[in-house]
Chain A
Amino acid sequence: MPELPIQPIALGKRPGSRRATLTPYLFIAPAMVFYLGFLVYPMLSSLYVSFFDWDGMSPLTEFIGLKNYTDALFYDEVTRLALVNNVFWTLGAMTIPTAIGLIMAMALNRGARGTLVFRTLFYAPSVLPLVAVGIIWSWMYNPNFGAINVILNAVGLNMFAGAWLSGYDTALPSAFITYAWGSVGFPMILYLAGLQSIPKEYYEASQIDGANTLQQFWHITLPGLRESHVIVLSLAVIGGFKVFDLIYTMTYGGPGRVTQVLGTWMYFQSFQYYHAGYGAALAWIIAGIVLLIAIPYIRHMSRD
Chain B
Amino acid sequence: MSSARLANRRTNAIILAGLIAFSLLWLLPFVAVMSTALRSQGDLFSNGIFTWPKTFKWGNFVKAWVAGDFSIYFKNSLFVILVKVPLGIFLAALAAYPLAKIKFRFSQGIFLFFLIGLAVPVQVALQPLVVMMRELGLSNTLFALIPPYIAFGLPFQVLVLRGFFRMIPNELVEAARVDGASEATIFFKIMLPLSVPALAALCIIDMLATWNEFLLALVLISEKGSRTVPLGLMQFQGEHSSNYTLLMAGVLISIVPVLVIFLFLQRYFVTGLTAGAVKG
CB distance from A101 to the nearest CB of B (A): 11
Count, chain A residues at interface, CB 8 A: 99
The answer on a CB contact under 8 Å between B214 and A245 is yes
Residues of A within 8 A of B (CB): 1, 4-7, 10-11, 15, 21, 23-25, 27-28, 30-32, 34-35, 37-39, 41-43, 45-46, 49, 56, 100, 104, 107-108, 110, 112, 114, 118, 120-125, 127-132, 135-137, 139-140, 142, 145-147, 150, 154, 181, 186, 189-190, 193, 227-228, 231, 238, 241-242, 244-245, 248-249, 262-263, 266-267, 270-271, 276, 279-280, 282-284, 286-287, 290-291, 293-294, 297-298, 300-303
Give chain A residues whose Cβ lies under 8 Å from the Cβ of B181.
1, 4
In contact, A244 and B212 (Cβ under 8 angstroms): no
CB atoms of B95 and A27 under 8 A apart: yes
Q: Beyond the given A31-B91, A132-B255, A145-B49, could you list 15 further A-B residue pairs with CB under 8 A, ordered by the A residue number?
A: A24-B102, A24-B107, A28-B98, A30-B95, A46-B127, A49-B127, A107-B15, A107-B18, A124-B30, A128-B258, A130-B230, A131-B233, A132-B230, A135-B233, A193-B274
Given contacts A145-B49, A283-B124, contact A127 B234 (CB under 8 A): no
Known contacts A107-B18, A242-B123; is-contact A139 B92 (Cβ 8 Å): no
Please, which residue of chain A has its CB at the minimum distance from the CB of B252? A132
- Given contacts A21-B104, A34-B154, A124-B259, are A287 and B183 in contact (CB under 8 A)? no
Contact of B32 among A104, A139, A249 (CB under 8 A): A139
Q: Determine whether the beta carbon of B254 is less than 8 Å from that of A35.
A: no
From A128, A137, A242, A249, give the contact of B212 (CB < 8 A). Answer: A128
Contact A147 B115 (CB under 8 A): no
Contact A24 B104 (CB under 8 A): yes
Decide if B29 touches A140 in the complex (CB within 8 Å): yes
B247 lies within 8 A of A135 (CB)? yes
Q: How far is the CB of B97 from chain A (nearest CB, A)?
A: 6
Using a CB–CB cutoff of 8 Å, the interface residues on chain B facing chain A are 12, 15-16, 18-19, 22-23, 26-33, 36, 44-45, 48-50, 91-92, 94-95, 97-99, 102-105, 107-108, 110-112, 114-132, 147-148, 150-152, 154, 158-159, 176, 178-183, 185, 187, 189, 208, 211-212, 214-215, 218-219, 229-230, 233-234, 237, 244, 247-248, 251, 254-255, 258-259, 261-263, 266, 269-270, 273-274, 277-279
Are the CB atoms of B95 and A31 closer together than 8 Å? Answer: yes
Contact B125 A39 (CB under 8 A): yes
Q: Would you list 21 pairs from A and B whose C-beta atoms are within 8 A, ordered by A residue?
A: A1-B179, A1-B189, A6-B179, A25-B98, A31-B92, A38-B150, A42-B129, A46-B126, A46-B128, A49-B127, A100-B22, A114-B16, A132-B255, A139-B33, A145-B244, A147-B29, A189-B274, A227-B279, A242-B123, A266-B123, A287-B123
Assembled-state Cα–Cα distance A267/B158 (Å):
29
Across the interface, do B102 and A271 meet the contact criterion of CB distance under 8 Å? no
Residues of chain B lying within 8 A (CB to CB) of residue A270: 126-127
Known A5-B180, A129-B211: A27·B150 in contact at CB below 8 Å: no
Report the minimum CB–CB distance from A6 to chain B (whole Å).
4
